[in-house]
Amino acid sequence: MGSLRWRAMLAAAVVLVALIYVLPSIPAVHNSSLRTFLPAAELNLGLDLKGGIHLTLGVDLDVALANAMSGLGQDIRTEARDEKIVVLRPRVVQTKALEFVLVNQDQQQTMDTLLRTKFSTVQVQHRENIDGGQIRYTLQPTEDYIRYLQGLTMDQALKTIRSRIDQFGVAEPDIRKQQGNRIIVQLPGLADPKRAVNIIGRTAHLEFKLVDDLADVHAAESGTVPADSELAYMIEKGGGSGKIPLVLKKEAVLTGEYITDANVQFDSYGQA
């Protein structure tokens, strides 16, 4: 009998302690005066107990690859210029192929050497002789580079999603990668899926583009924009409501993936 009594008392004590730690997680208790006498820690309930939002997000790797190849085209043109090689019209075709024109076919060997030694992430798929003694190159990314870029893109997407979820104040969000370039997001306790999708899914892509000084801004505003340029607007300095039109080159000279740090510096006149 004594052994049975002790077992009953132990079971009752365990139930009592469990109840004390569960009570703070109950909304009615959490908002009452009893909250003062209960533990501060709460149980973080999952979607099955607390409800919430379950999202499946897809990462567009084709866009990431096209952006990377576009930046690579600018790098090739810059490196070629340093070698006195003229390269024209680098552009992305069929999502991941990069085309450009070598003006002087006599420089083919030099161009091939440059690509082989400094741009090992791509390989020459095709060369075509065109009018005027020029050569059109078509490059494809290597399989190793595609796999690397896929991993990098998924990691960046995870990091971005986590930073945006911090806005919701969710205690224990579940964010993980799945096959098929998908990311699963579970947000226990939230009940506004539209707001969650708007914040988590908004596009964030940093690009630096050159101003096309030769383009006519007024003509661009009327709809006549050079084929390799685009019309954009800059907000007035000081937070004014006006917008200043600019014509920018479509090709970005630099993207945010290559930036590891940024800060503001001021000159001797106190200007940034």
pLDDT digits (tens, 9 = 90+) for 55-102: 788 888 888 898 889 889 989 999 999 999 999 989 999 878 999 999
Measured between alpha carbons, how far is 71 from 232 in angstroms, rounded to an integer? 20
Compute the residue count for the chain.
Answer: 272
Q: What is the pLDDT of residue 103?
A: 95
Q: Which of 17-21, 65-69, 142-146, 219-223 has the highest mean pLDDT?
A: 142-146
Measured between alpha carbons, how far is 178 from 160 in angstroms, rounded to an integer? 16
Residue 113 has pLDDT above 80, yes or no: yes
Candidates 65, 122, 115; CA nearest to 92 is 65
Q: What is the pLDDT of residue 197?
A: 73
Binned at pLDDT 50, 70 and 90, residue 183 comes out as: confident
Binned at pLDDT 50, 70 and 90, residue 49 comes out as: very low
β partners of residue 127? 137
Q: Is 185 helix (H, G, I), strand (E, B) or coil?
A: strand
Residue 110 has pLDDT above 90, yes or no: yes
Strands 97-102 and 122-130, by their bridges, are unpaired
* pTM confidence score: 0.58
Q: What is the pLDDT of residue 204?
A: 57
Q: Mean pLDDT lowest for which of 80-84, 126-130, 169-173?
A: 169-173
CA distances from 61 to 95, 119, 122, 257 (A): 10, 21, 17, 14
Q: Which amino acid is at 90?
A: P
The structure tokens listed for 263 are 């800060």
Measured between alpha carbons, how far is 242 from 233 in angstroms, rounded to an integer? 9
Q: Which amino acid is at 166?
A: D
Measured between alpha carbons, how far is 88 from 192 in angstroms, rounded to an integer? 50
